[in-house]
Amino acid sequence: MVSLKRAILLFTVIFFTVNPFTVRAQASEISTPEEIDAYSQHHVKDDYYFSLFSHKASGKHYGFALPVILIDNGLKVFSSAEFHHGDAVVEKDGQFYKLYHSKIYKTDAAGSIEYDAKGYPSNEKPWDFSITKNVAGLIIATILLFWAFLSLAKTYKKSANAIPTGMGRILEPLVIYVRDEMARPNIGHRYREFMPYLLSVFFLIFLLNLMGLTPIGFNVTGNITITFGLAIVTFLITNIKANKGYWKHIFWMPGVPVPFKILLAPIELLGIFTKPFSLMLRLFANMTAGHFVIMGFIAVIYLFQSQLTLGGSIGISMLLTLIIFVLKLLVSFLQAFIFTMLSSLFIGMAVEEHPEHH
């Protein structure tokens, strides 16, 4: 068991460490600003295929495909490899589908894509329940979190004072940190009621951010639909659990002259929606920016390859990428901390007991 744990730990360290070098190898064929932009955009987008690296000259892609699940006059399940990265049209039960700009469209046998007046594809899209990179990342993160916390829970079932072992030694300090530095100070005596959510969102974001540093290229928290979903959950919990004092301070603030109450009410009401919006945008923007910075450093170095020589460009590229990689480790924790801290703060404001209402 000990040797297995050491092997897993060694694999994890190597998996994270080789990421900057894998990214550099993928970008080594970039030579024009257009290719830089296309590569960067592809790196942060969701996809139906895990592309580890590709060879531009031969047109070969190395990685593994994910399952495509469509509902269009029945259930259709097939491998995304059949799209050949958008070069082929897939026929299923007389229906034709084409992968175009990371989306699946219904088309004809020739793969024709029609456009509207604004230049966007106007082809009909089937109901898409495919396992994309982001979905796969969420599934993997969920399984890992269940495994880790069930292991920690078993330790406490033996004895309340039992010392955690294995993964529990890492989790316990973080759990205590969330409880003592976020939940208790911001929520007060009702903190236990919201600890399950705060722990879930903290560890989910932190783990997804770490997964984004691996060579596989997850960018789950850099997808605005994911951050929107997390922000919506905070929004619902905050407003469903809010007490009467919270709503009174929004619509009819105590101790304020009536004209100002009328003036402040719309502003306070708007604040209900701007809070989750800031949560959504902050997490999305920071994680996406981190990926673009790494891509930018690598691409700029290769654009100046003739001035720096091949060895110099590779060395500087690796150095800058490693520096950003280390910074992103810090940012991964920081963004999980900020999202959880602000969520606990918003919840605390909603459930706070105001003296004038006793």
- Both tokens of 224, joined, read 């605005």
- pTM more than 0.85: no
Q: Which residues contact 320 (CB under 8 A, 6 or more apart)?
A: 297, 298, 301
CA-to-CA distance for 321 and 297, rounded, in angstroms? 7
pLDDT at 1 over 50: no
161: amino acid identity, one letter: N
Confidence of residue 351 (pLDDT cuts 50, 70, 90): confident
Q: Which residue has better confidence, 218 or 115?
A: 115
Residue 358 DSSP label: -
Q: What is the mean predicted confidence (pLDDT) over 113-133?
A: 89
Compute the residue count for the chain.
Answer: 358
Least confident of 3-17, 53-67, 89-103, 335-349: 3-17
Is residue 71 within 8 Å of residue 126, measured between CB atoms?
yes
- Both tokens of 162, joined, read 């039992």
Q: Which of 7-16, 66-75, 80-89, 306-315 has the highest mean pLDDT?
A: 66-75
CA-to-CA distance for 353 and 188, rounded, in angstroms? 10
Report the alpha-carbon angle 332-335-338, nearest 5: 150
CA distances from 345 to 221, 272, 340, 356 (A): 21, 13, 9, 21
pLDDT at 250 over 70: yes
pLDDT at 235 over 90: yes
Percent of the chain predicted with pLDDT > 70: 75
Query: How much is the mean pLDDT over the chain?
Result: 80
Least confident of 50-54, 186-190, 260-264: 50-54
pLDDT tens sequence across 290-349: 777 766 666 666 666 666 666 666 677 677 767 777 887 888 899 999 999 999 999 998
pLDDT at 285 over 80: yes
pLDDT at 24 over 50: no
Residue 76 DSSP label: E
Confidence of residue 28 (pLDDT cuts 50, 70, 90): very low
Least confident of 64-68, 167-171, 237-241: 167-171
Longest dimension (CA), the chain: 75
Looking at residue 102, its pLDDT comes to 82
Residue matched to tokens 């064929």: 29
Looking at residue 355, its pLDDT comes to 62
